[in-house]
Amino acid sequence: MKTLIIAEHNGHSLATDTLKVVRAAASLDQQIDMLIAGENVNAIIEQAQRIETIDSVLVADSSCYQHALAENVSVLVEAMVSEHCDSPEGYSHILTAATTFGKNLLPRIAALLDVGMLSDVIEIESKDTVIRPIYAGNALARVRSNDRIKAISVRASAFDAAEQLSDSQGSAPVNFVAITHQSLLVEFVSQQVVASARPELPAARVVVSGGRGLGSKENFAMVEQLADKLDAAIGASRAAVDAGYVSNELQVGQTGKIVAPDLYIAIGISGAIQHLAGMKDSKVIVAINNDPDAAIFEIADYALIGDLFEILPALIDELG
Amino acid sequence: MKVLVAIKRVIDPYVKIRIKDDGSGVEDSNVKMAMNPFCEIAVEEAVRLKEADIASEIVVVSVGDDTCQEQLRSALALGADRAIHIATSDKLEPLAIAKLLNALVQKEQPSLMLLGKQSIDTDNNQVAQMLSALTGYPQGTFASELTVNTQTVVVTREIDGGLETLSLQLPAIISTDLRLNEPRYASLPNIMKAKRKPFAVIAIDEFELDIAPRQEIIDVMVPPKRESGIRVESVQELVTKLRNEAKVIE
């Protein structure tokens, strides 16, 4: 049996999270096909061909897949998987990253195939058994799926990225899939992508996050200055997002992004359960807060208690 | 138009959960329960649509044992018109819930179906998408803004890079993100009024659907505990430690 990975991309390049899914899929020890659905995806095909452990690249190149609408891509994948589902050449596993792309798409595919789904998996123990966090990461469930096809979304922060081989080494064969499906029930209107020169939040080695303690959007600029010194991505607590200090795609937590960088600096964040769910697997956690009883200190490796309006400028200065 | 809202009873989000000693699950007896926060947002959005004269009737549904009637009553107190309780003592998987909701959609024929994007206990984030697949309706997941017209709903979705706007033909399925609205509290008169609103209980067997479990939870474990670290006294000490001890900055 084979594994199908549904690649996520922005039209120009493959998402780092998809490379992490490849690493997760490698533990299943079976042939891995990567599906790229989109329009004019040549650059992405080339990237996919060079990923280690990818055996073949399947391409559905059509305007109907341009915006990765779940209504269209789900029918494509269902058709691809159903075709050989009883043969040894069929797909036993379908994997995506547990990003908004994967979360939107994979349950729709699973239901079309009449199978359940395993969400946000942090470990693949065997072909049918995985570990996934529940209750905002306060418990881990070991779950066995008895479905004929396992639909799995992978928590990218729990896996390393697969290597990209050099041009001469890797060139997985490419096959085109001639299935088009354009739902008339949904229409793409627009997308507002926040442009940033900083590293992407889920992939960053260092994350500097601000919370309600910053007090204002203007003060949040200090978090940005610190992030620039450390070449870090910026994160935020829900309180900071709700107060309008930063836009919501920077939210870290159960309902936002899950990150596990080498260094996570939490500034003016109390450490609610929902926030900790998004960052408690970071390698080193630094907390800066004026409340010595803040819950964040219970998990911080380094705690600095004091007024962040004095500490932050000094820290920025110290990093020179 | 008729709006159908699905809600779930979960452990209150502020409760510190306890894992059962035998590893079979999370202790939920004698624990404070609440409506899933994302479902509250779905109910609130439906009520606002009714206040704007867009929705004519709000039907709330929950699948679970008798205790979930408490959350259905809360939804009625918030402004829903009638409630349907699909009664079962089993904890069902998202696919099974989606199948039951699909059967209900076929019967009730709502123009819009609102669900939370995920429940905060199982954290699956699946039911709305699965229901969309089964009904064949378009889906607007992780919605932070809705504009409902006669034939369409324009939905702004929270995606990883920012926001995306889609236009869906009605009937459509929407799952709510936290930023869609700020749920209200029920007033005492409304709580009293809710007691007289229509409330139907349907035994799960009446649906005759394949809702057998597809997954087994082998065990539930405590995640590795993170020990608290040390207190540093100054910015200089922090930077030195990060450089030399933790070696996470240059």
CA nearest to B154 within chain A: A189
Contact check, Cβ <8 Å, B123/A134:
yes
Q: What is the pLDDT of residue A87?
A: 80
Residue with tokens 């922005």: A10
> Are A36 and A57 contacting, i.e. CB atoms less than 8 angstroms apart?
yes
Comparing CA positions, the residue from A37, A185, A182, A116 lying closest to residue B136 is A185
Per-position DSSP letters for A182-199, written without gaps between them: --SSEEEEEEEE---SSP
Comparing CA positions, the residue from A15, A305, A273 lying closest to residue A139 is A273
Residues of chain B neighbouring A193 (CB-CB closer than 8 A): 161-162
Residue A227: phi and psi, rounded to 5, are: -60, -40
Q: Cis (ω within 30 of 0) for the bond into B171?
A: yes
Q: Copy the structure tokens of residue A63.
A: 């305007």
Q: What is the pLDDT of residues B105-158, one digit of tens each?
A: 999 999 999 999 999 999 999 999 999 999 999 999 999 999 999 999 999 999
Q: What is the pLDDT of residue B128?
A: 98
Contact check, Cβ <8 Å, A194/B95:
no
Query: Which pairing describes strands A2-6 and A139-145: parallel, antiparallel, or unpaired?
Result: unpaired
Q: How far apart are CA A99 and CA B195, in angstroms?
A: 41
Q: Is B238 on the interface with A (CB under 8 A)?
A: yes
Contact check, Cβ <8 Å, A283/B241:
no
Which amino acid makes up residue A181?
Answer: H
Domain ranges of chain A: 2-176, 201-318
Residues of chain B neighbouring A273 (CB-CB closer than 8 A): 13-14, 16
Q: Copy the structure tokens of residue A5.
A: 């990975």
CA nearest to A192 within chain B: B163
Domain A2-176 in CATH: superfamily? HUPs (3.40.50.620)
How deeply is B170 buried, as exposed, middle or buried, from its count of CB atoms within 10 A (0-12, 13-18, 19+)? middle
Q: How far apart are CA B69 and CA B67, in angstroms?
A: 5
Residue with tokens 């490849």: A22
Q: What is the pLDDT of residue A203?
A: 82
- Report the percent of chain B where pLDDT is more than 90: 94
The whole-number average pLDDT for the span B23-28 is 94
CA atoms within 13 A on the CB side of A274: 18
Distance from CA of B76 to the nearest CA of A (A): 26
Q: How far apart are CA A212 and CA A252, in angstroms?
A: 13
Task: Determine the CATH number of domain A201-318.
Answer: 3.40.50.1220
Mapping DSSP to helix (H, G, I), strand (E, B) and coil, where does residue A209 land?
strand
pLDDT one digit per residue (tens) for chain A, 320 residues: 999 999 999 999 999 999 999 999 999 999 999 999 999 999 999 999 999 999 999 999 999 999 999 999 999 999 999 987 778 889 999 999 999 999 999 999 999 999 999 999 999 999 999 999 999 999 999 999 999 999 999 999 999 999 988 876 778 999 999 999 999 999 999 999 877 788 888 889 999 999 999 999 999 999 999 999 999 999 999 999 999 999 888 999 988 899 999 999 999 999 999 999 999 999 999 999 999 999 999 999 999 999 999 999 999 999 98
Q: pTM for the whole thing?
A: 0.95
Residues of chain A neighbouring B218 (CB-CB closer than 8 A): 129, 142-144
CA nearest to A111 within chain B: B130
> Are A131 and A188 contacting, i.e. CB atoms less than 8 angstroms apart?
no
Q: What is the pLDDT of residues B29-42, one digit of tens each?
A: 999 999 999 999 99
Element (H, E) at B51: helix B37-51
Q: What is the pLDDT of residues B180-230, one digit of tens each?
A: 999 999 999 999 999 999 999 999 999 999 999 999 999 999 998 887 799
Q: What is the pLDDT of residue B107?
A: 97
Within this chain, domains A2-176 and A201-318 share the same CATH topology: yes
